[in-house]
Structure 1
Amino acid sequence: MPPSLLLHRAPCARPGPAPRAASRLSASVVSAANGAGGSRPPKPRPPPRGKPRFSRQSAIRKSFQQEQVVFSTPVPADPTVAVIGGGASGLACASALAARGVRSVVFDTGKHGLGGRLATRAVHEERRLVFDHAAQFFTASDERFRKLVDEWVDRGLVREWRGSVGELQAGGQFTPTPSSTPRYIGVNGMRPLADALLPENDLIKVIRPSWISKLEPFNGLWRLFENEKPQGQYDAIVIAHNGKCANRLLSTSGLPQLTKQMKRLDLSSVWALLAAFEDPLPIPHNSSHGAFEGAFVRDVDSLSWMANNTRKLFPLETDRPECWTFFSTASYGRKNKVPQENIPNATAEKVKREMLGGVELALGLSTGSLQLPFYTRVQLWGAALPMNTPGVPCIFDPQGRAGICGDWLTGSSIEAAVLSGMSLGDHVADYFASHGERPEEFAIGLDDSLIRVEGHDIGQFPGLDSQKPQVAEPQLTLSI
């Protein structure tokens, strides 16, 4: 789910003269330059109309000064909610709405499936390579989430990860990390859990891949558009994603309070490197725990986490190549950030080289001695994890009938994402049940300040005894 930029069109210049007029003007300028007749020089031509320039500060000010949308139309008996974002939070919100009898339509950009950071990549070559390349594992500390996880365990979707996980100091010193709560993983990777979040009923419709680009209030409803193509009308909307796309979506929506809160969010950037090796890596062995399967890496700038997907997901299959997921630190991601939709080849090669060098350093290997992987893929999670949070389960603007859910509202974990979606779904259902008669009672999270998030560079794990504090980046302060 990095620091997001709001790009808003500045006022466009007036169109220049028609082509013929432009030709006559050019001719008169030439005559004046040659001293013809002593006539007054014409006024300079307006600059040609071209690509508008962008001003981040003026865009933020404009987004904060939007006129607030206020819906006064009665709440219908059978409302429908648009949920924009099909990650864990958006799916949990749709599920909670369905449990209360409220219809929803989930719009998600995923080409291969739902889930957002519940992401698993399977590479179909001669041998099937499987990587969890976003969320690596999760814990369950809240009773509501534990109940859901227990259901997943009963269905065979989730199991406890009993492999050795701990801290790896640069140089190869590994220390297992005790945990007061079980660590869980998806039996076949994380992505199937996204589908498991959706109940089997006709109250939820999923549209993907779809990139909602515009929100527009109209006659007491929200109209959604994808590149000017209408995508229906809805009684309320839920923003279940963040980053620059969410900021652009909100910047002209008529929801200044939601825009303000989203703009306060600071997100990290993290590189992921997927690598498959023919032979096992030379992993330090602990006398009582054996070779580790996952490690939080310390004192290596290009590396914060490494995990052996093969041992994690297929512990009984010994003939598979080792598929590793490596994550950079947030500081490395910030220093090497590029547009994640169009990563230059030179940057991809640099990141791969430096992260593999980080693996050598973490394992205490000599430079260049690490075996070359036969498969690699780098990916930048540009809007990776929240660096700050308001500490509220959800945000809802009853005047505009719009809300926000996401892990960033209380932390940075799968548990936080699911609980935020559940909370907003129930809150919106309660609002509909009130028939909108007391809207002021349903405002939540619109003015809460944000505080620093503490945890590992790859997220928070409630109940895990070791948590590495994150250092929040400087916050943008504007005088509005």
Structure 2
Amino acid sequence: MNVAIIGAGLSGLSCADALAATGHRSALFDKGRGPGGRMATRRAGTVAGEASFDHGAQYFTARHPEFLKQVGDWSARGAASPWPEAGADAWVGVPAMNSVLKDMATRHDVEFNFNAKGLVRDGRKWLIVGDHESRGHFDAVVIAAPAEQSASILALHDFEMARAALLARSQPCWAAMFTFASPVPAAGNILRDRGAITWAARNNAKPGRAGLECWVVHANAAWSTAHLEESPGTVEQLLRDHFEAAIAAPLPAILYSVAHRWRYALSSGTGRGALWNEDIRLGVCGDWLLGPRVECAWLSGQELGARIAEAEIASMPLLGLRG
């Protein structure tokens, strides 16, 4: 079976892995410039050298036996490492959070900078419609995107899946990234729940990092919602002020700063691992279904990949022997 997967974040790549394990081919499409989704890493040039920021997910935990096995594999391959400072069971990608996604993406056909806007049914096959051109034909389609983005694609093809996506509301998060000329005088490398700031971390203190003094500051959901449509420049200045207040000391000279809006950062989850319509071979996976954790995104992709493979086996004609 030839499967198109819209979204090359963790759930999409996990689904591709599960399909590959049963002999099925996947083609992934992502509007971003590289793998990562909300596990992305941003790099920027400064007068002092290159700065690096994990500006989405800050770390992940592993509890499910299958995900523990996967994290162990990433660790053995040098793509992940424990980060005890964030928690006893906290892990990060090394040398950047998106390293695990890059490792996964090397095993699949991934097209970046392709904005999948919709689907067209052509007989029993699917076409993926982009801004200027289409891709196809595919036997099945998986949508591995945030709920709000999934809903618009699903609406014309499966009412129940579209309804589930519409009912799953995501909370936003504004992230600010700063590079400083000298160390920030904070009490530790992590700040939690300081007024408008839900999280701030010294990125260069994570395992496998080095170099410039780089901080990532996340605003809480309420503050992010209240300032959702502000310009990035305005948000960067506001979070700079909140950060300075949180450490109760003047910030060092800033070499680089920028803000990024994660419009669909966190979902409460629906408790369902994945959705699959065998009649039209259309499925959905993602953390908005199972829960707002990195592990949930991976498990959701695995579940959908397994369901697609099982459905394909069930649809095959039984072969008998005459004699």
Q: TM class, shorter-chain normalised?
A: over 0.9
**1:194 positional shift:** 0.6
Task: Give matches, 1:216-235, under 5 Å.
Answer: 216-227=120-131, 229-235=133-139
**Structure 2: 5+ residue stretches without partners:** 318-323
The aligned residue for residue 191 of structure 1 is: 98
**Maintained 8 Å contact 2:40/2:97:** yes
CA distance in 2, matches of 1:260, 1:270: 24
**Maintained 8 Å contact 2:152/2:162:** no
Pick from 346, 356, 370 the counterpart of residue 251 of structure 2.
370
TM-score by length of 1: 0.63
The aligned residue for residue 200 of structure 2 is: 306
* Paired letter, 1:127: G
CA distance in 2, matches of 1:328, 1:244: 21
Percentage identity across aligned positions? 30
Aligned residues between the structures:
316
- Is structure 2 residue 316 aligned with structure 1 residue 428? no
**1:357 positional shift:** 1.7
The aligned residue for residue 410 of structure 1 is: 290
**Maintained 8 Å contact 1:242/1:383:** yes
- Is structure 2 residue 23 aligned with structure 1 residue 101? yes
SS at structure 2 position matched to 1:310: helix
- Is structure 2 residue 239 aligned with structure 1 residue 359? no
**1:229 positional shift:** 2.0
**Maintained 8 Å contact 2:52/2:214:** yes
CA distance in 2, matches of 1:321, 1:87: 27
**1:370 positional shift:** 2.8
**Maintained 8 Å contact 1:407/1:417:** yes
**Maintained 8 Å contact 1:118/1:193:** no
Task: Give matches, 1:78-93, under 5 Å.
Answer: 79-93=1-15
**1:436 positional shift:** 7.0
CA distance in 2, matches of 1:228, 1:216: 14
TM-score by length of 2: 0.92
* Paired letter, 1:121: R
Quick check: which one's strand share is greater? 2
- Is structure 2 residue 128 aligned with structure 1 residue 263? no
SS at structure 2 position matched to 1:370: coil
The aligned residue for residue 110 of structure 2 is: 206
**1:118 positional shift:** 1.7
The aligned residue for residue 458 of structure 1 is: none
- Is structure 2 residue 279 aligned with structure 1 residue 385? no
**1:244 positional shift:** 4.0
SS at structure 2 position matched to 1:134: coil
**1:184 positional shift:** 0.9
* Paired letter, 1:294: I
The aligned residue for residue 320 of structure 2 is: none
Pick from 316, 330, 333 the counterpart of residue 221 of structure 2.
330
CA distance in 1, matches of 2:28, 2:270: 25
**1:219 positional shift:** 1.2
**1:139 positional shift:** 1.0
Residues 380 and 436 of structure 1, relative CA distance in 2, 3 Å threshold: farther
1:154-213: per-residue Cα shift (whole Å, max 9, x none)? Answer: 1111111133x4xxxxxxxxxxxxx4x42111121111211222464xxx4212211112
SS at structure 2 position matched to 1:114: coil
The aligned residue for residue 50 of structure 2 is: 128
Residues 436 and 403 of structure 1, relative CA distance in 2, 3 Å threshold: farther
Pick from 112, 115, 125 the counterpart of residue 36 of structure 2.
115
SS at structure 1 position matched to 2:193: strand
Greater gyration radius: 1
SS at structure 1 position matched to 2:276: strand
Residues 436 and 257 of structure 1, relative CA distance in 2, 3 Å threshold: farther
CA distance in 2, matches of 1:352, 1:104: 39
Quick check: which one's helix share is greater? 2
RMSD: 1.8
CA distance in 1, matches of 2:169, 2:265: 10
